[in-house]
Amino acid sequence: MKNTTQILLLLLATIALLTACSAGPEATVRDTPAAPTEDARAMITETQPPILEATATPEASTPAPTATEPAASFTPSATPIPPPSTPAPEGTDTPVPTRQPTSTATSSAPEVTSFDVSPAVVDPGDTVTLTWEAQGGSAKLCPSSRYVLFTDGDCWPVSLAGSATFEIPPEAAGFQYVDFVLTVETQGRQEKATAQVSVALKCERTWFFSDTPQAGICPREAVQSPAAAQRFEHGTMVWLETPGRYYILQDTPLLDDATRKRVDLISDPLEITVDTSDEIQAPSGLYAPQSGFGLVWRGDVAQSSGFRDELGWALAPEFAYEAILQCDDARPSGGRPWQTCYLQGPEGEVIVLPPLGGWYLLEQQP
């Protein structure tokens, strides 16, 4: 009985196995497997390789926000943002723009309104009073005397309006003027305002033709000399033994100047090149000059090409007189002399010889 039961169970198992095999893979597709338990899911996670999922790669120039770096905000801000060309240095706070200073009405252009000195003529050792008024930021006052008597160390700061006294030093004796220069500046401006006043120093002597005291440019010692003169149709010739010079004073205007007339100067000794005196015959009532006047007039010397056309014939023979020559003490400037000389003419007239050339009579001053 027992054996029969075992045989029956074996037969049923064989039939079941044959039935499962005959069903094939189709039964697996149709059947829904049961969901794995918690333990099964844990085991799958630990043993199976991870599944790679495709993700978008962010641009290198725009990093994705992280939990510690929030995404940029485009909310408008009332605070100005510094331009990108001047980023703030690392480790420092972003600078806050500040208002730049602007010019105000107080930074006015420097200007000297008035500047005076009194008295204007003094002796060395005298005291003068300077008064001034200006606008600007600061002012300084400097004495000057052609840069030889004073230096920058003699300048002193002054207020924009006021007065001051100054003693002319005894060392100024022999100078023509002492000048004072007021300089005004304003901070923030390049231009300066300057003004100058001058004090004339009294002269030791007067002109030979005047007793009026002189100041500033002073007369030098007058030179008295034996002289000769001769009148011509269109001018006068004068010779001075000292300094040994011929003055050819023509009536022809100098350039377009109707007051100053042409003058030529020839110095002794004359260098005679030829003698043409025998070839000259003066018209009736007129004269041909002789001696030194004749040599210069004819052009018989190396220093002269002749003045026959410029002067014409002489109106009378030459004659002697005592002449006076006196020049001022103006100093050379710009590479040329600036002296004015005064020559006493044959009839007592005063002939002015200015530094710009030409001649005129003193009462005919231009």
Do 297 and 282 form a contact (C-beta atoms < 8 A)? Answer: no
Q: Which residue has the tokens 């995404």?
A: 71
Percentage with pLDDT > 90 across the chain? 58
Instruction: Report whether pLDDT(86) > 90.
Output: no
* Domain regions of the chain by residue span: 111-201, 223-364
pLDDT band at 14 (very low <50, low <70, confident <90, very high): low
Q: Which residue has the tokens 């210069």?
A: 296
Higher pLDDT, 188 or 142: 142
Instruction: Report whether pLDDT(4) > 70.
Output: no
Instruction: Report whether pLDDT(99) > 60.
Output: no
Instruction: Report whether pLDDT(354) > 70.
Output: yes
Nearest to residue 135, comparing CAs of 199, 196, 195, 180? 195
**Phi and psi of 310, rounded to 5°?**
-75, -40
Question: What's the rounded mean pLDDT across residues 62-87?
Answer: 38
Instruction: Report whether pLDDT(70) > 50.
Output: no
Most confident of 32-41, 77-86, 112-121: 112-121
Higher pLDDT, 14 or 85: 14
For the chain, helix, strand, coil in percent to 5 are 15, 35, 50
Instruction: Report whether pLDDT(105) > 50.
Output: no
Instruction: Report whether pLDDT(333) > 90.
Output: no
Higher pLDDT, 71 or 179: 179
pLDDT band at 301 (very low <50, low <70, confident <90, very high): very high
Do 222 and 208 form a contact (C-beta atoms < 8 A)? Answer: yes
| Per-residue pLDDT at 9 | 63
- pLDDT (tens digit, 9 = 90+) per residue, 320-332? 999 999 999 998 8
Do 203 and 214 form a contact (C-beta atoms < 8 A)? Answer: yes
| Per-residue pLDDT at 26 | 42
CB atoms within 10 A of CB 113: 13
| Per-residue pLDDT at 175 | 86
In 3-state terms, what secondary structure has residue 310?
helix
Q: Which residue has the tokens 């930021």?
A: 137
Question: What's the rounded mean pLDDT across residues 310-336?
Answer: 93
Backbone torsion region of residue 255, taken as left when φ is above 0, otherwise alpha when ψ lies between -120 and 50, otherwise beta: left
pLDDT band at 7 (very low <50, low <70, confident <90, very high): low
Q: Which residue has the tokens 């007051």?
A: 259
Strands 138-144 and 156-158: antiparallel
On whether the 111-201 domain is CATH 3.30.70.100, my answer is no
Higher pLDDT, 47 or 257: 257
| Per-residue pLDDT at 147 | 58
- pLDDT (tens digit, 9 = 90+) per residue, 240-269? 999 999 999 999 998 876 789 999 999 999
Nearest to residue 167, comparing CAs of 143, 194, 145, 147? 143
Question: What's the rounded mean pLDDT across residues 287-308?
Answer: 96
